[in-house]
Amino acid sequence: MDLVQVKKAANPFKPKSIFWVAIFCAVLVCSWENTGMSFTELFTEGWPHMVSYIVGNPTIPGSSFFPPRLVAADLKIYLFAMLETLEMASVALCMSIVISFPLSFLISRNILEILFPGSSALIKLLRRAIYLGSMLLANVCRSINEIVWALLFVSAVGLGPMAGILALGLHTAGVLTKLLAEGNEAIDPGPVEALSATGAGFIKIIIYAVMPQTMPHFVSMVLYRFESDVRSAAVLGLVGAGGIGFYLFDKVRSFENGDVTTIIIIIVTVVWIIDKLSATIRKKFI
């Protein structure tokens, strides 16, 4: 390839590129206008109201977010509730891994070809049916928000952590299935083909050719979802699904904003610690 061809290939101002950028900009502008988005309104009209809400009403005790309310008895309750939130996220994550790990293989086209080899019409139809059925199940799990799942499970098992665990577990299972499947489909086919040529079975191919390649991606996604589940579990208290979220929304509804700040500080601190621990674990696998 000569210099002229290299410059032509590297030119970002191609008609096709300009067309798609124009489409994107048009969609963005249209969406901005239709949703009434306005930074001017936020900073000129909304900002004073926000500051007033944070400062609170001087005539109403506890209406200000600052300083946080630090009462030893309440702190003990909040810390135990945060521990319950971590336990909820841990159990939900384990449940989601049990569901998503095998399901991710069924929505990975390359893994399905290993599981059901062959090019006959019947085999192709079988692979297609398994793929679509598994994809539908994963989409349903992740498309329904955790709060909606929690509402359903609260009606089934009552208020408490169990409803939150089931809600988080199902939603995370759908998300992890999609993320892990993308990692499966991105593997190098070389080791898989080499093991297949030796007559190795499906289990050996997964263990010795697929898992070594997907393990860094698997660990990264699982740790990410654990962090996300901890944050989501804190929100599920809105529907009475246990954890520190129950106290958070109780204090929000009661306008005890000093306690709200205290709870938020606890949540942010715990998430920060989890993030640091996750980074340490990732370094060992990635």
Q: Are residues 98 and 152 in the same domain?
A: yes
User: Distance between CA 33 and CA 39 in Å, rounded?
Assistant: 12
Within a domain: residue 4? no
The neighbour count for residue 55, using CB atoms within 10 Å, is 13
Within a domain: residue 177? yes
User: Distance between CA 258 and CA 19 in Å, rounded?
Assistant: 52
Structural contact between residues 108 and 185, judged by C-beta atoms closer than 8 angstroms: yes
Within a domain: residue 64? no
Containing domain of residue 125, as a range? 72-285
The neighbour count for residue 211, using CB atoms within 10 Å, is 13
User: Distance between CA 286 and CA 80 in Å, rounded?
Assistant: 33
Q: Are residues 38 and 110 in the same domain?
A: no
Give the burial class of 171: count Cβ atoms within 10 A of its Cβ; 0-12 exposed, 13-18 middle, 19 or more buried: buried
Q: Are residues 120 and 32 in the same domain?
A: no
Strands (E), 104-216: none
CATH of the domain at 255: 1.10.3720.10
Q: Are residues 34 and 79 in the same domain?
A: no
pTM across the whole model: 0.81
Structural contact between residues 173 and 95, judged by C-beta atoms closer than 8 angstroms: yes
* Number of domains present in the structure of the chain: 2
Confidence of residue 2 (pLDDT cuts 50, 70, 90): low
Q: What is the pLDDT of residue 185?
A: 83
Q: Are residues 26 and 143 in the same domain?
A: no
Within a domain: residue 228? yes
Q: Are residues 225 and 117 in the same domain?
A: yes
Query: Residues near 264 by Cβ (< 8 Å), separated by ≥ 6?
Result: 248
Q: Are residues 32 and 112 in the same domain?
A: no
pLDDT digits (tens, 9 = 90+) for 168-191: 899 999 999 998 888 888 888 787
Q: Are residues 31 and 130 in the same domain?
A: no
Within a domain: residue 6? no
Q: Are residues 199 and 138 in the same domain?
A: yes
Within a domain: residue 148? yes
Query: Which of the two residues, 265 and 38, has the higher pLDDT score?
Result: 265
pLDDT digits (tens, 9 = 90+) for 110-144: 888 878 877 788 888 888 899 899 899 999 988 88
Q: Are residues 109 and 207 in the same domain?
A: yes
Within a domain: residue 150? yes
Q: What is the pLDDT of residue 173?
A: 92
Q: Are residues 89 and 169 in the same domain?
A: yes
- What separation in angstroms does the CA of 45 have from each of 41, 48, 49, 164, 253? 5, 7, 7, 38, 25
Within a domain: residue 115? yes
Q: Are residues 27 and 168 in the same domain?
A: no
User: Distance between CA 144 and CA 167 in Å, rounded?
Assistant: 10
Residues of the chain with pLDDT > 70, as a percent, come to 94
Q: Retrieve residue 133's tokens.
A: 């059925």
Query: Residues near 286 by Cβ (< 8 Å), separated by ≥ 6?
Result: 216, 219, 220
pLDDT digits (tens, 9 = 90+) for 214-236: 888 888 888 888 888 888 887 77
Please name the amino acid found at residue 118.
Answer: G
HSE toward the beta carbon, residue 136, CA cutoff 13 A: 6
Q: What is the pLDDT of residue 12?
A: 65
